[in-house]
Amino acid sequence: MTQLTETARALVADGKGILAADESTGSIRKRFDAVGVTSTEESRRDYRHMLVGTPGIGAHISGVILFDETLRQTAPDGTPLVRLIEQAGMIPGIKVDTGAKPLAPDPESGETVTEGLDGLRDRFQEYAALGARFAKWRAVYAIGHGKPSARSVHVNAHALARYAALAQEAGIVPIVEPEVLMDGAHDIDACFAATERVQHAVFTELVAQGVRPEGLLLKPNMVISGANAAAQADPDTVAERTLACLRRTVPAAVPGVVFLSGGQGDEQATINLDAINTRAQRDGAPWRLSFSYGRALQQAALRTWAGDNAKTEAARAAFLERARANQEAALGRLAA
């Protein structure tokens, strides 16, 4: 087994999943604003230290995706946060894209292409030296009014595959994240159609560019009703549609699928993951099906902490509980 496959499998072992704590400076400012915290280098450090320093978290979380700044930060006692992650038995990861930018030549279309390829080979060398063993790149697609367009599907798939090839060359497992947004009033069939098209294009490009499926993880959206749709599909329908879509598009050689939460409530993200695994146990599925949640793992902890380091213990308890529940869901035994 190659090192890439070993790392990819470790990230989805035993129902464990990934903590996405890689919000860019702009995104974390929005999350902090919502709970009245000023975003500074120190408050961001304190918050991420609160999360990764949670005692016992390594029993539920296999890896942590970090933003560039965090990969270089240290705890108040001087220990690098990367070392704390490793000491807890977790694997450090790094977000390497530089964000979704308006798609030329129609910047008003509302579609985007994710950037960050320039200099990426050299950045991977540095990130590997700093301890990163896996990486993330997120492409984003909206549904509705002709979206996602064939152009956006193509250029984002191409960029995802170029990123993934460079990651594997550096010995780093690429998490390939094509996120079809849940914003809108569309039904679950529209989400299925868009997600199938996007994932099919992504795997076509991955194959064309020589990326090895054994050494990557897919991070997709679940196939789900639009957030504003009048009728909301129930968890078993979400599970059935999500698995049907993945079966059509994802090679069996891929070790794991780690879902994003994408704005689902934290309970909802856990219940849907449990439904997916319950169905997979019944119908069969070739990949591990776990989580790589940002908001759905952090929301309760962030609200509890709210900038007050005296609340660290209570915030850690809230985080630990979400991590534990999602591990149960990844094993399909939450409802059991």
| HSE-up (13 A, CA, CB side) for residue 252 | 3
Q: Please, which residues bridge with residue 173 across strands? A: 134
DSSP state of 170: T
Compare residues 263 and 286 and give the one whose CB is closer to ligand 13P: 263
Contacts with ligand 13P, 102-141, as mask; x by CB under 6 A: ------------------------------------x---
| Cα–Cα distance measured from residue 96 to residue 173, given in angstroms and rounded to the nearest whole number | 12
Compare residues 91 and 286 and give the one whose CB is closer to ligand 13P: 91
Q: With contacts defined by CB under 6 A, how many residues of the chain interact with ligand 13P?
A: 10
Compare residues 23 and 196 and give the one whose CB is closer to ligand 13P: 23
Query: Is 219 labeled as catalytic in the residue annotation?
Result: yes
User: Which two structure tokens, joined as six digits, stand for 15?
Assistant: 């129902």
Compare residues 177 and 205 and give the one whose CB is closer to ligand 13P: 177
Catalytic residue among 177, 179, 196, 205: 177
The reply on whether position 48 binds ligand 13P by CB under 6 A is no
Closest distance between ligand 13P and the C-beta of residue 95, in Å?
Answer: 8
Q: Is 174 helix (H, G, I), strand (E, B) or coil?
A: strand
Which of 76, 18, 65 minimizes the C-alpha distance to 43? 76
The reply on whether position 160 binds ligand 13P by CB under 6 A is no
Closest distance between ligand 13P and the C-beta of residue 75, in Å?
Answer: 23
By CB under 6 A, the residues from 138 to 157 that bind ligand 13P are 138
| Cα–Cα distance measured from residue 231 to residue 167, given in angstroms and rounded to the nearest whole number | 41
Query: Is 169 labeled as catalytic in the residue annotation?
Result: no
| Cα–Cα distance measured from residue 334 to residue 241, given in angstroms and rounded to the nearest whole number | 20
| Among 4, 10, 19, 20, contact with ligand 13P (rule: CB under 6 A) | 20
Compare residues 271 and 296 and give the one whose CB is closer to ligand 13P: 296
By CB under 6 A, the residues from 166 to 225 that bind ligand 13P are 177
| Cα–Cα distance measured from residue 244 to residue 277, given in angstroms and rounded to the nearest whole number | 13
Report the b/e string of 220-233 with b at 16+ CB within 10 A: bbbbbbbeebeebb
Q: Is 135 helix (H, G, I), strand (E, B) or coil?
A: strand
Residues noted as catalytic:
177, 219
Which parts of this chain interact with ligand 13P (CB under 6 A)? Answer: 20, 138, 177, 260-262, 293-296
